[in-house]
Structure 1
């Protein structure tokens, strides 16, 4: 009788030890081994070199643009409205609704959020249920019989539920969730980066079309003037006042202007097709009415370089990539430590379906079916160390990419600020050159009528005026596109809320 009474006592004596072990393991669950994430430092200048910090712009010169605040919640709105162009406003709205690159970026964001949901699911136990029979025939040797004995097949009906849960002893699950969270945030920043690029591309393509409209109008006016000049030359030739050489030169200038006008028309058509694609339309389904570009004068305050780090979506994406890589270092470190998996199953087993749910048919299992609950890696030929080394190298790469992204952002702002500053002076000089060339052309026409100069001098003066007019149109287009480029470089539109279907729940 002694053995019968000793076994329960041993079981009861073991329970406190198991409870103490379990309590110790649960305490270890808070011992994460992953490195704490700190954003790497970057060298930030006190001010942009090209910004006129000593003479800030008054509000009435700053257009509708508002300087960005260093907070993600500060809504700046639809920055393209500072140009005061209703056509551009409508095109921007169309692009955001139908551009396929933006739709692809939205799909990538949804994928990243789905992966985040998958990672978060590891924090919770998994519960499964099953029902069905198994038909089995064991070999005689498995039952301790001789090989020549026969065995009968048996049927076992089973209905049970199982539970599995990994205790996050050393932060593997938490680091995985942190990495997935950073990945989702990076995808959101990349979506915003694609959105900003789309907005800027639409504006710049639109101003490109309008610049070509202005050039086309210029050359069409030139064709009209040269047609009138040719008629005058023909009359003078018929009267015998001039030689055929002047007539040939006048015809040459007319056809040259017609060729240039056709060249502008060709480039304008190509630019309109590119704009159609940005709007998510086939070129055959899009027509933009001619609207020659006029001079655009908007002044955009650059703000401080330190705020650029919070306004540029590409910088935010690079920073989130670092955070994800840092969390994956923690995942790789956790692979060196034990893993505790708690499993259990409960249900009913019976040889007859009718007896399956009898109380006597109940069964349960606590612990893994195969292996052990607590597993400790010992030797893997260096696989875990290689994984850790790779995770650290990826983090170092992302740090370098982040710092390079910041440097590139500073350069883009400085470039566009310099463009606008120099273009302002260049356009003033160009206006003076255009006025001087126009006066020279008027004088040459007068002198030709008086017979004091040849028609070749008139042609040269007209060519100079046309060249100066064309340069002026180009400078107007460059100023408009540089203004858009500066807004893009400053991260314009970063704080605009996401569409409802992409809002994070």
Structure 2
């Protein structure tokens, strides 16, 4: 009776301890997560002053809301170039950097699924014999007693489950989820970078086509000029010096023409790689650049810049680092693992599945169910310090990424504003140089000026025309760069094909 009472007290105490541990199950030690205050300005410095209206009209900032996972749309269609549209489609489908990023996204989501398995029990089953021999001492037999060997057949199932007392399992799953969301944002960042690189390479190629067209016209004019000089030299009107200068200018123009062709070939090869092709598999017919007056809605900085995938990735990395602090803290507290095994065992295979052969074991075969850490030589404190330092690093990275994003937007806004003025002045320079060249040609024909004056005017025209073509190309590239800096596209643009569509998108959560 006394033994029964003592056993009852032990079981009651153990039950109360287990109940207390289960009561705190799921208690999180992860610090409360908040994005840092960045002190953002109310408007872009380079945004032109507009009339009164909503924040979307004036370009001022509003409170950021999660929107990184929204579709950027096929933003390149605003340029109205079917050739560019086709190139973008090919790049999204075949670019190897995009394919690698999509694979990394799938990998991260696989790890997320594996981490979530910690919420569920693990069940295993097994079947097979074991050959064993017990010692005489373990059976309380005298020394020297012969204990025969025996074969034990077992068919058992085992179950194990870690009670999440202090949120370690939940923090691990949350950190894995944040990292999967980071991979999703990084995938979109790679996709946007490839799309922008294709557009930039395309417009650089067209700019070089414009320069090549200028040189074609220049070489033709220089050949005509050489014929005129040759004729005058044959008539004895001029010295051989003028003829040599005319030949030199023609050869120089042809050499520069070859230089432009060399740059175009390299640009075409770069574009081929972006499309997932070898240079031998890709070529584009020459076509001079046609500028398109596209107004990128930079008056929406809050709704576009907050969707930049690189910023979303930095924020998700910061959130995951915060969860890792909770994991490191949970290592200081007890862990509870519930285990059990049940099935059949017998000395012969024929008796294995008889009702009398049933057996079970509750609790771990070796060790204890409840483990309390006491001393580890500073490993836990070191891991916690590392987790906190990693979080501080990710906070700094996030702040820096936002600053870089602001810089890129401001740079391209100022580039476009100043390029407009520069192009207008350059157009005037082209017109004036062409007029000066025409006058010098007329005066040379009349014998009023030396041929050196004609050469100078021709060089000035060529330089002005090339500068005009280069500025036009820079303007189109800056428009692409501004769209890239704003996160790519805007509401209402057509949806973009997603090579990772087989893996459901994950919202950024910031």
What TM-score, normalized by structure 1, do the two folds share?
Answer: 0.93
Aligned to 1:295: 291
Cα distance between partner residues in 1 of 2:116 and 2:204: 48
Q: Is the 8 A contact 1:340 1:374 kept in 2?
A: yes
1:54 aligns with 2:59: no
Cα offset for 1:139? Answer: 3.8
Distance 1:139 1:366, change over 3 A: closer
Cα offset for 1:12? Answer: 5.0
**Residue 483 of structure 2: which of 487, 494, 501 is its match?**
487
Q: Deviations over 1:372-400 (max 9, x none)?
A: 11111011111101000000000000000
1:435 aligns with 2:431: yes
1:164 aligns with 2:165: no
In structure 2, runs of 5+ residues without a counterpart are 54-63
Q: Is the 8 A contact 1:175 1:330 kept in 2?
A: yes
Aligned to 1:222: 218
- What aligned pairs does 1:87-126 form with structure 2 within 5 A after superposition? 87-126=83-122
Structure 2 residue matching 1:161: 3-state secondary structure: strand
Q: Is the 8 A contact 1:196 1:493 kept in 2?
A: no
Aligned to 1:250: 246
Cα offset for 1:411? Answer: 0.2
Aligned to 2:313: 317
Q: Is the 8 A contact 1:134 1:157 kept in 2?
A: yes
Aligned pair count reads 490
Aligned to 2:353: 357
Deviating above 6 A after TM superposition, structure 1's stretches of 4 or more consecutive aligned residues are: none
Q: Is the 8 A contact 2:315 2:398 kept in 1?
A: yes
- What aligned pairs does 1:60-459 form with structure 2 within 5 A after superposition? 72=67, 75-145=71-141, 148-459=144-455
Q: Is the 8 A contact 1:46 1:305 kept in 2?
A: no
In structure 1, runs of 5+ residues without a counterpart are 58-68
Cα distance between partner residues in 2 of 1:504 and 1:486: 25
What TM-score, normalized by structure 2, do the two folds share?
Answer: 0.92
Cα distance between partner residues in 2 of 1:504 and 1:249: 66
Cα offset for 1:146? Answer: 5.3
1:501 aligns with 2:497: no
Q: Is the 8 A contact 1:46 1:304 kept in 2?
A: no
**Residue 463 of structure 1: which of 459, 462, 466 is its match?**
459
Which has the higher mean CA deviation after the structures are superposed, 491-500 or 357-366?
491-500
Cα offset for 1:294? Answer: 2.2
Q: Is the 8 A contact 2:130 2:151 kept in 1?
A: yes
Q: Is the 8 A contact 1:81 1:89 kept in 2?
A: yes
Q: Deviations over 1:225-280 (max 9, x none)?
A: 11111111111111111111111111101000100000000000000000000000
Which has the higher mean CA deviation after the structures are superposed, 39-48 or 267-276?
39-48
Structure 2 residue matching 1:502: 3-state secondary structure: coil
Cα offset for 1:54? Answer: 2.4
Q: Deviations over 1:153-206 (max 9, x none)?
A: 111111111100000000000000110000000000000000000000000000
Q: Is the 8 A contact 1:313 1:494 kept in 2?
A: no
Which has the higher mean CA deviation after the structures are superposed, 12-21 or 467-476?
12-21
Structure 2 residue matching 1:169: 3-state secondary structure: coil
Q: Deviations over 1:392-439 (max 9, x none)?
A: 000000000000000000000000001000100000111111111111
Cα distance between partner residues in 2 of 1:8 and 1:353: 39
Cα offset for 1:299? Answer: 1.6
Which has the higher mean CA deviation after the structures are superposed, 334-343 or 6-15?
6-15
Cα distance between partner residues in 1 of 2:215 and 2:142: 107
Structure 1 residue matching 2:76: 3-state secondary structure: helix
Q: Deviations over 1:205-227 (max 9, x none)?
A: 00011000110111011111111
Cα distance between partner residues in 2 of 1:127 and 1:457: 93
Cα offset for 1:16? Answer: 4.1
Q: Is the 8 A contact 1:309 1:316 kept in 2?
A: no
Cα distance between partner residues in 2 of 1:30 and 1:293: 63
Cα offset for 1:366? Answer: 1.0
Cα distance between partner residues in 2 of 1:504 and 1:257: 54
Cα distance between partner residues in 1 of 2:304 and 2:86: 28
Cα distance between partner residues in 2 of 1:429 and 1:55: 28
Q: Is the 8 A contact 1:159 1:347 kept in 2?
A: yes
Aligned to 1:62: none
Cα distance between partner residues in 2 of 1:295 and 1:128: 67
Q: Is the 8 A contact 1:305 1:410 kept in 2?
A: no
Cα distance between partner residues in 2 of 1:136 and 1:198: 64
Q: Deviations over 1:438-491 (max 9, x none)?
A: 111111011001100011100100110010000000000100000000000000
Q: Deviations over 1:99-119 (max 9, x none)?
A: 001111111111100110110
Q: Is the 8 A contact 1:309 1:406 kept in 2?
A: no
Cα distance between partner residues in 1 of 2:473 and 2:343: 77
Q: Is the 8 A contact 1:296 1:476 kept in 2?
A: no
Q: Deviations over 1:302-337 (max 9, x none)?
A: 135444552100000000000000000000000000
Q: Is the 8 A contact 2:26 2:170 kept in 1?
A: no
Cα distance between partner residues in 2 of 1:504 and 1:427: 43
